[in-house]
Amino acid sequence: MCGIVGYIGKRDAAPLLLDALRRLEYRGYDSVGEATIHKGKLYVKKGRGKIEDVHRELKLDSLPGNVGVGHSRWATHGEPSKRNAHPHVDNSGKVAVVHNGIIENYEELRQFLRDNGYSFSSDTDTEVVPNLVSYFMKQGNGFEGAVRKAVGRLKGSYALGIVSVSEPDKLIAVRKESPLILGLGSGEMFIASDIPAVLPYTKRVIILEDGEMAVITPIRALVKYTDSGKAIEKKPLRVAWTAEMAEKHGYPHFMLKEIHEQPEAIRETLRVSADELAQLCKMLLDAKRIYIVACGTSHHAALVGKYALAKLADVSAEVVISSEFQESCMVDGGTVVLAITQSGETADTLKAVRVAKAGGARVACLTNVVGSSVTRESELVCHTYAGPEIGVAATKTFAAQVAYLLLLAFNLAKMRKCISKVKFDELVAQLQETPNTIDAVFERTEKQIEELAKRYKDAKNIYFIGRGIGYPIVMEGALKLKEIAYIHSEACPAGELKHGPLALIEHGIPVIAAVVPGSARGRMLGNVEEVKARGATVIAIAADNDEEIKRHVNELISIPVTHELLTPLTYISPLQLLAYYIGVERGFDPDKPRHLAKSVTVE
Ligand code: F6R
């Protein structure tokens, strides 16, 4: 949530800040702004709306100066508006701050500042920060000292970028519980919420950790503990991602590109080191109780993992939505928690991890982002290799998570002697073949899906049904449709229809059914008949050797046959495409769904 950037160097800061903000827009896009310093004066431009709209009106790249900060906002405190947009500036117009996170004690700090003659012009929690810095500067502190004193008064979470006209040769970055990286260039330095922002300029990054700050000049980024001011030796990382990977390559939207990148995301992820997988298997096998915690799409991948672990490896894992973990779960020294989060920054998942650790549990994580917050909280760090995902809706990271979890289940099943070596080799070979199968799914279904999107774009409600491993597939399909096309959609375990949801089925209502091969298929056909008998228009996704299904449904999306456990990888693409094309038909931007942001760093 919210993207922050900063630059100090020889070049004009404003165009670079704008470029970096465009690369971070997936983190929030209800307002945007930049501040630069030039010849002892602070310049600020900001406005409500998406970056391109605000830029068209204000020319964000025209601010003068070689140092500055920028911000793309996802509102928490205060409605999206020009006055609530960042950067926020102190009363004297000398200190500018961009902030990602939440200052929990901002009311109390506002009162303190008001008592000292300060006033406020926004509804944000952030505005206290530049004014506190200014307050401590007036008390005789230098820029860095004032920032450290100000930050000492803050409660909550924050990644901050701060500049001051009093010391225009410095950019200060501070981090607590919100992501922040430093990009180390040659004669120039960057700060950003996420690595893709700096990829065109440098591959050398330092990941700031909680309680750390950096005092940055064009030639040096000095990292220190924020409380003591003591310097810390930090080794820069060299990132393998390229700027190209974070571009659209002729696709109209990142979402469409990333849907099509799923085969590659799976191939890369399946190259996981044997050692990492063995360590995770051992950790799970040693556990008395296993929880998998995740949110949103990662939660759906977790459910696929649960089915695969139970069906194949006889391993029982409870999947818990991260924000519910502390409310409902029993944790002790025998508990293992696997946290799944593509960004590695989701506050709810980080909280679940901390609660688990406090209760004595061991924690492993599965994330797509090297060096993300969850990696620092986990005893064992496992990675998917989907590459940067820019579209707000998770697509290729889902495929990568599912591929990883299936490989994990296959390995556990072999270790526990639930399957033979021959069966294991056969399953792994089939999993390695799925990228090609998914390419075939695109070939076969994309035109059909575009047609379906035209036909169903005005539907008010669309229901999804599935059984067994088909259930997480339809949960993910329904979530995609909600967030991208803004159509009310609900996923229901098909067997549960008769316990209530069937009452909502009326003539002409679209019902999307994932009919996966395996033991539940026959019962699933019965459920398809139940909704058809009540007038629903049934669109089924099924294996192409399933002759019988054709007689039961109005429309068939036919998928090359795979093992039942691989269907979450092969069936999900048509559902992602359906959400994408309906969203586009309805005139929405699929990369920037309203009210949502890529990395959800608030609880
Ligand atoms: C849906 C989506 C969200 C995320 C959720 C968890 O398309 O993107 O539901 O899946 O916010 O995010 P991570 O995996 O980063 O923890």
Using an 8 Å Cβ cutoff, are 406 and 564 in contact?
A: no
- Binding site membership of 384 for ligand 1 (Cβ less than 6 Å): no
Nearest to 194 by CA among 128, 246, 233: 246
- Binding site membership of 593 for ligand 1 (Cβ less than 6 Å): no
**Which residues does 149 contact at the CB level (< 8 Å), separation at least 6?**
132, 136, 139, 141
Nearest to 388 by CA among 497, 205, 265: 265
- Binding site membership of 296 for ligand 1 (Cβ less than 6 Å): yes
CATH of domain 443-587: 3.40.50.10490
**Which residues does 528 contact at the CB level (< 8 Å), separation at least 6?**
465, 494, 513, 515, 538, 540, 549, 552, 553
Q: For residue 117, what is the DSSP state?
A: T
Nearest to 1 by CA among 484, 595, 591, 401: 595
Expressed in angstroms and rounded, the spacing between residue 598 Cα and the centre of ligand 1 is 7
Q: How far apart are CA 158 and CA 176, in angstroms?
A: 5
Pocket test for ligand 1, best of 342, 395, 482 (most atoms within 8 A of CB): 342
Expressed in angstroms and rounded, the spacing between residue 303 Cα and the centre of ligand 1 is 14
Q: 235: burial class by Cβ within 10 Å (0-12, 13-18, 19+)?
A: exposed
Q: How far apart are CA 492 and CA 501, in angstroms?
A: 8
CATH architecture for segment(s) 3-246: 4-Layer Sandwich (3.60)
Three-state DSSP state, 14: helix
- Binding site membership of 343 for ligand 1 (Cβ less than 6 Å): yes
H/E stretch holding 18: helix 13-24
Tell me, yes or no, if 2 is annotated catalytic: yes
Closest approach atom of ligand 1 to CA 401: 14
Fold of 248-419: Rossmann fold (3.40.50)
Boundaries of every domain in the chain: 3-246, 248-419, 443-587
Expressed in angstroms and rounded, the spacing between residue 483 Cα and the centre of ligand 1 is 11
**Which residues does 420 contact at the CB level (< 8 Å), separation at least 6?**
none
pLDDT computed for residue 79 by the predictor: 84
Closest approach atom of ligand 1 to CA 392: 8
Expressed in angstroms and rounded, the spacing between residue 342 Cα and the centre of ligand 1 is 7
Atom 5 (ligand 1): residue with closest C-alpha?
Answer: 296
β-strand partners of 363? 337
User: Would you list the DSSP string of 160-223?
Assistant: EEEEETTSTT-EEEEEESS--EEEE-SS-EEEESSGGGGTTT-SEEEE--TTEEEEEETTEEEE
Q: For residue 26, what is the DSSP state?
A: G
Pocket test for ligand 1, best of 27, 295, 404, 596 (most atoms within 8 A of CB): 295
Closest approach atom of ligand 1 to CA 322: 16
Atom 4 (ligand 1): residue with closest C-alpha?
Answer: 296
Nearest to 535 by CA among 502, 507, 505, 510: 507
Instruction: Tell me the pTM.
Output: 0.81
Q: For residue 62, what is the DSSP state?
A: G
Expressed in angstroms and rounded, the spacing between residue 296 Cα and the centre of ligand 1 is 5
pLDDT computed for residue 179 by the predictor: 87
Expressed in angstroms and rounded, the spacing between residue 395 Cα and the centre of ligand 1 is 10
- Binding site membership of 601 for ligand 1 (Cβ less than 6 Å): no
Q: How far apart are CA 207 and CA 195, in angstroms?
A: 9
pLDDT computed for residue 503 by the predictor: 92
pLDDT computed for residue 250 by the predictor: 81
pLDDT computed for residue 411 by the predictor: 98
| pLDDT lower than 50: segments of the chain | none
Closest approach atom of ligand 1 to CA 342: 14
pLDDT computed for residue 439 by the predictor: 96
Q: How far apart are CA 76 and CA 89, in angstroms?
A: 18
**Which residues does 172 contact at the CB level (< 8 Å), separation at least 6?**
143, 144, 147, 160, 161, 162, 163, 213, 214, 215, 216
Tell me, yes or no, if 50 is annotated catalytic: no
- Binding site membership of 342 for ligand 1 (Cβ less than 6 Å): yes
Atom 11 (ligand 1): residue with closest C-alpha?
Answer: 296
Closest approach atom of ligand 1 to CA 480: 7
Atom 15 (ligand 1): residue with closest C-alpha?
Answer: 343
Rounded to a whole number, what is the largest CA-CA distance in the chain? Answer: 82
| Structure-token match 């330095």, residue found | 189
Domain 248-419 matches domain 443-587 at the CATH topology level: yes
pLDDT computed for residue 247 by the predictor: 79
pLDDT computed for residue 248 by the predictor: 81
Expressed in angstroms and rounded, the spacing between residue 179 Cα and the centre of ligand 1 is 16
Tell me which of 2, 281, 329, 492 is the catalytic residue. 2
